[in-house]
Structure 1
Amino acid sequence: MSAYAALTKANYRAYVRDQTTVFFTFAFPLLFLVVFGLIFKGQTVEDGGPPYINYIAPGVLSWGVGNAAMFGVAFTMMHWRRDDILRLIWRTPTSLPSVLASRYALAIGVGLVQAALFIGVALLPLFGLELASGWPLVIPVLILGITTFMALGLVVGSLADTPEAVAAIANCVMVPMAFLSGSFYPSDLMPGWLRDIALALPLRYFNDGVLGVLSQTHHGSASDLAVACAGLVGFAALFALVAARTFRWSNRG
């Protein structure tokens, strides 16, 4: 068995053993879907406009998937560095790219299952999400979004030395970003200067990409999708560069 396959298998087993984390990873975005779906059931974004669920479901999905990707790798890298697991790996023939690739494979798998479960629930008559004809394009958008937020998680995991620090930094990043990027309400309702600030946030591009290909009433053009994907690629490259500069094998230097 290759080092990559062994690490991927070990990461998967470690993940499924933590049943509390598994449960909340999938339940957290669904909780927001249920809350917002019931509060705004039957309401539209504006008079005569599309149902609110067609906006809120894609936004909550992108936020939930990005949140899980960032938190998952941030906590893992912090623990591995604190417990000197990375130092032990460094002394073996296993390369760092194999370590990161195994985490990446797990993050992609978790994110896609999250999305499938979330969309399945949102399609129930209770919520009534209407899918666009090009909805399968959400898969490459999700992969780009997971890649971007995993790279951001590597930065957080490199900077934080304790679980409390990871939670504090990650929440300070993700919670304001969710509101500024329009995950929970239409960004068109925000002041213009806030919409301009949101253009500097990766979640804005993730939201736009998922919304444009998933929701029938918000179906975007090919150029809109290209802009969203280009934004995610750019942020992924930026975060990967920062993570490479801040990476540490051990807290002991």
Structure 2
Amino acid sequence: MSSFSALTTAGYRASVRDRTTVFFTFAFPLLFLVVFGLIFRGKTVEASGRGYIDYIAPGVLSWGVGNAAVFGVAFTLMQWRRDDLLRLIRLTPTPLVSVLASRYVIALVIGAVQTALFLGVALLPVFGLRMAGTWPLAVPVLVCGITAFLAIGLVIGSRADTPEAVAAVANCVMVPMAFLSGSFYPIDAMPSWLQAVSKALPLRYLNDGISQAVSGSASLAGIGIACGGLAVFAAVFGVLALRTFRWSNTS
């Protein structure tokens, strides 16, 4: 078995065996979908005429996928470094790319399961999401989004030395972004200056791309803008992650 396969298998088993991780990865974001979906059931956004569920489902999905990517890799790197596992891995022929690639594959799998679960629930008659035939265009947006948020998680996990620090920093990044990027509140209903601020946030592009694909308003230009914006964030934070990566807390 290659080092990449071994790390991926170990990471997957650790994820599914931890009930707390499973709950906050899948059930906790889904709870937001259920609560907001029931509160705004049958209501529409006056500015666009679209149902609230058309914003809520893609928004909560985007936030859940981004959250899972950030917290998953950040906590893993912090724990592995604190327990000296990264230092031991460094003493083997395992390259850094194998360590990072294993986490990337796990994040993609988790994102795929989250997407199927969230959309499946949102399509139930009680919520009434109407998914257009352009929904496959959400796939490249999701891949780019997971890549961008994984890079953000790498930066956090490389600098934070305790679980409390990871949780504090990651929440400070993800919670405000959720509200400013349209995950819980439609961007169309925000003041114009807040709409401008949201364009500087990666979650805005993930929200926009998935929302367009699911609602049927997607175009190649719109999906390209979403993927391009996420690619820029992935590149910036990816370079920063490589520069800040530490194999141990003493180096």
Superposed pair shares fold, TM > 0.5? yes
- Looking at structure 1, the residues matched to 105 and 220 of structure 2 have their Cα atoms a distance apart, in angstroms, of 28
Q: Which moved more, 1:36-45 or 1:219-228?
A: 219-228
Q: How does 1:106-121 map to 2 (within 5 A)?
A: 106-121=106-121
Q: Please tell me whether the aligned partners of residues 122 and 128 of structure 1 are also in contact (alpha carbons under 8 angstroms).
A: yes
Report the secondary structure of 1:124's partner residue. Answer: coil
Change in CA separation of 1:194 and 1:82 when aligned onto 2, cut-off 3 Å: same
- Looking at structure 2, the residues matched to 119 and 43 of structure 1 have their Cα atoms a distance apart, in angstroms, of 19
1:137 aligns to 2:152 (yes or no): no
Matched pairs, number: 251
1:56-77 Cα deviation digits (max 9, x unpaired): 1111110111011100000000
Q: Which moved more, 1:20-29 or 1:52-61?
A: 20-29
**AA in 2 matched with 1:245:** R
TM superposition shift of 1:145: 0.7
**AA in 2 matched with 1:214:** V
**AA in 2 matched with 1:148:** A
Structure 2: segments with no counterpart, 5+ residues? none
Q: How does 1:96-111 map to 2 (within 5 A)?
A: 96-111=96-111
Q: Please tell me whether the aligned partners of residues 55 and 215 of structure 1 are also in contact (alpha carbons under 8 angstroms).
A: no
Q: Please tell me whether the aligned partners of residues 137 and 223 of structure 2 are also in contact (alpha carbons under 8 angstroms).
A: no
Report the secondary structure of 2:184's partner residue. Answer: coil
- Looking at structure 2, the residues matched to 232 and 39 of structure 1 have their Cα atoms a distance apart, in angstroms, of 31
Change in CA separation of 1:18 and 1:223 when aligned onto 2, cut-off 3 Å: same
Q: Please tell me whether the aligned partners of residues 111 and 146 of structure 1 are also in contact (alpha carbons under 8 angstroms).
A: yes
1:80 aligns to 2:68 (yes or no): no
1:122-179 Cα deviation digits (max 9, x unpaired): 0000101000111012122111111110110000101111000000000000010111
**AA in 2 matched with 1:22:** V
Q: Please tell me whether the aligned partners of residues 58 and 215 of structure 1 are also in contact (alpha carbons under 8 angstroms).
A: no
Counterpart residue number, 1:166: 166
Counterpart residue number, 2:248: 250
- Looking at structure 2, the residues matched to 204 and 116 of structure 1 have their Cα atoms a distance apart, in angstroms, of 21
- Looking at structure 2, the residues matched to 141 and 225 of structure 1 have their Cα atoms a distance apart, in angstroms, of 7
Q: Please tell me whether the aligned partners of residues 157 and 166 of structure 2 are also in contact (alpha carbons under 8 angstroms).
A: yes
Under a length normalisation based on structure 2, what TM-score does the superposition of the two structures give?
Answer: 0.97
Counterpart residue number, 1:211: 211
- Looking at structure 1, the residues matched to 214 and 42 of structure 2 have their Cα atoms a distance apart, in angstroms, of 20
**AA in 1 matched with 2:242:** A
TM superposition shift of 1:47: 7.5
Under a length normalisation based on structure 1, what TM-score does the superposition of the two structures give?
Answer: 0.97
1:198 aligns to 2:184 (yes or no): no
- Looking at structure 1, the residues matched to 7 and 178 of structure 2 have their Cα atoms a distance apart, in angstroms, of 32
**AA in 1 matched with 2:233:** F
Structure 1 stretches of at least 4 aligned residues deviating more than 3 Å after TM superposition: none
